[in-house]
Amino acid sequence: MVSQANIPNITPTITIGLNDALNLLLISVALEELGLSHIINAEAEKIQYALGTLPGLTPPASVSDLLNINSSVRDTITQAVKYEMLLSDKLLSVINTPLKGPTGATGAGGAAGTTGPAGATGPSGATGITGSTGANGAAGAAGVTGTTGSAGATGSPGNAGAAGSPGATGATGAIGATGVCPCVTGPTGATGASIAGATGATGATGTAGATGATGATGATGATGVTGVQEVVNNLYSDSIFGLGPFPPGAALTFPNNVAVNGTAISHVPGSTDFVLAPNQTYYIDYHAKPFLFTSQLYTGNLALQLNGVTIPGSDTTDTSSSVSAEADSVLVSTTIINTPGGGPSILTVINNSAIAQAYDSYGISIIKLA
């Protein structure tokens, strides 16, 4: 039986949305399909080599050798078909996953209702996951200006000022001389000066009128559409021929780089080391098949190492004692890791078995998440 790998605890916590997860699964299916095509091509070249259409085999293969090779190829193709069925189910599950459509435009705000009494404050809901910031919506229309308050009442009139003092009486004019009758009246005397009274105090200011009601708030603009996240750093490398046996603890070599994108992952074809950038998060998926030509007991066990230290939960084990059981044996494991700072990290796939073991048709997929 194939063991189930455990995903270790990761700090800090990684937040991946539904669309991000579906994109990663589709990339994984595509890379695994590419690996299967290389496996099938390898089996065809194995038959050509044995038949002599590819040069290099001396002496020619015997009938017994051809029968053994035919049996091995048949078992590998059978296993490839089984794995293809799993990939088909995986692809259908991803494609049929329901997605949320874009948020519709916000409807126009309703008319302001009559102000009622404030209800009791409800309990606070749990804080949701913060989404990507959308573009700023259009500014809402200005609210209607509130009604001007009524004018304050007019203050009472001030008290009348005190009356001024009477002016001095002018001097009485001289009495004219008595003339011959009829008598002539003498001139009138000058008018005395008039002094104005002091002005009365100003009356008190009237009370200010009440403030008018505040106008209604304009409707909020619609939220912008969230941008698309792209995965631009990934690698798939494999071996289409059986290699080994690898001693216990030895790293497997990967002769072929099938796909390499970005600069955060690098590998020299034929080497054991995958170089990862510091302070990054990676999704890793590897598979392998134990390799035998004769009936014998074997224990297939692989694990990932980062900078020479085995990653917990990244190992997978299978034990068998026959070539026929080998055809049903595929070691598969997935994990997510964080690389430390301070410089590049080295990732390897090691033979974690206590005995030397050969492996056939193995590959690894590495995707940088963040």
- Decide: helix, strand or coil at residue 246: strand
Rounded Cα–Cα distance for residues 234 and 288 (Å): 19
Query: In total, how many domains does the chain have?
Result: 1
Is 72 a domain residue? yes
Is 165 a domain residue? no
- Which amino acid makes up residue 55? P
Is 297 a domain residue? yes
Strand stretches in the chain, DSSP E: 234-239, 243-246, 256-261, 265-267, 274-276, 281-290, 298-306, 309-310, 316-320, 331-338, 345-351, 357-368
Query: What integer pLDDT is reported at residue 174 of this predicted model?
Result: 53
Query: What integer pLDDT is reported at residue 88 of this predicted model?
Result: 92
Rounded Cα–Cα distance for residues 137 and 327 (Å): 60
Query: What integer pLDDT is reported at residue 48 of this predicted model?
Result: 85
From first to last of its 370 residues, the chain has per-residue pLDDT tens of: 556 667 667 777 777 888 888 888 889 989 999 998 999 989 888 888 778 777 777 778 888 888 998 999 999 999 999 988 998 998 998 898 887 656 567 657 656 546 756 657 667 656 656 556 556 656 656 556 556 556 556 556 556 556 556 556 556 545 444 444 454 555 665 665 555 557 667 768 768 768 768 768 768 757 645 544 455 899 999 998 778 789 999 999 999 999 999 999 999 999 999 999 999 999 999 999 877 644 455 667 899 999 999 999 999 887 655 544 444 567 889 999 999 999 999 999 999 988 888 888 899 999 999 7
Is 314 a domain residue? yes
Query: What integer pLDDT is reported at residue 171 of this predicted model?
Result: 60
Looking at the DSSP bridge assignments, the partners of residue 266 are 275
Query: What integer pLDDT is reported at residue 129 of this predicted model?
Result: 64
- Name the pTM for this structure: 0.43
Query: What integer pLDDT is reported at residue 367 of this predicted model?
Result: 96
Is 238 a domain residue? yes
Is 3 a domain residue? no
Q: What is the CATH number of the domain that holds 303?
A: 2.60.120.40
Is 158 a domain residue? no
- Decide: helix, strand or coil at residue 123: coil
Nearest residue to 199 via CA among 155, 160, 165, 157: 160
Residue span of the structural domain in which 331 resides: 18-97+229-368
Is 115 a domain residue? no
Query: What integer pLDDT is reported at residue 103 of this predicted model?
Result: 59
